[in-house]
Amino acid sequence: MQAMSVQRKKIHPHKYSLWIAMGSITMMFIGFTSAYVVKRSQANWQVFELPHIFWISTAVILISSGTIQLAVKQFKERNMRRYKQLITLTAILGVVFAALQCIGFSQLSQRGLPLSGPVSASFIYVIVGMHMLHVLGGVVALLIMFARAYRTRVRVYSAVPIEVASLYWHFVDALWIYLLVFLSLAR
């Protein structure tokens, strides 16, 4: 009996690996934001406003965090119809977030701030672009969850995959909020 309770307290290897990966990603973004702070003290630093669409994309990713959390709950309750709807909605919102980010990049370029422009604009492209790559990785995971949800035969009702995808999705959501606040205040 005691061996069983010890076993239940162990973290699943996939969750452990994800925590390690999220720590590494966090360190990378701390490096980016630290470099941004150092570089902005240079004389040629150009200050500019972030496109408003980045704030709209924030609302989209916040909503998607809610939908994935509800999807996890529905999966655990074996309400597969509702789970399918919510995981589908979350995947769609992830794609919408990425599309809004691309529109934000386009708006920066239209303002005369291309990637090859001032150093401050280049930092925005690198930081936001790297975040968007991590979001796209999350979208791929969501699409895999989506495909699994619509298989005709479910072999295993393990909540671990959706819990891992959900944890990662909440992470990229929190990371985006940090980056948006940082980039808005540290001009």
Superfamily of domain 50-185: Cytochrome c oxidase, subunit III, four-helix bundle (1.20.120.80)
The tokens describing 146, both together, are: 């989506």
Q: Which residues lie below 8 Å from residue 70, measured CB to CB, with a gap of 6+?
A: 86
**Cβ proximity of 123 and 50 under 8 Å:** no
45-92 pLDDT, tens digit per residue, is: 888 888 999 999 999 999 999 999 999 999 999 898 999 999 999 999
Q: How confident is the model at residue 181 (pLDDT cuts 50, 70, 90)?
A: very high
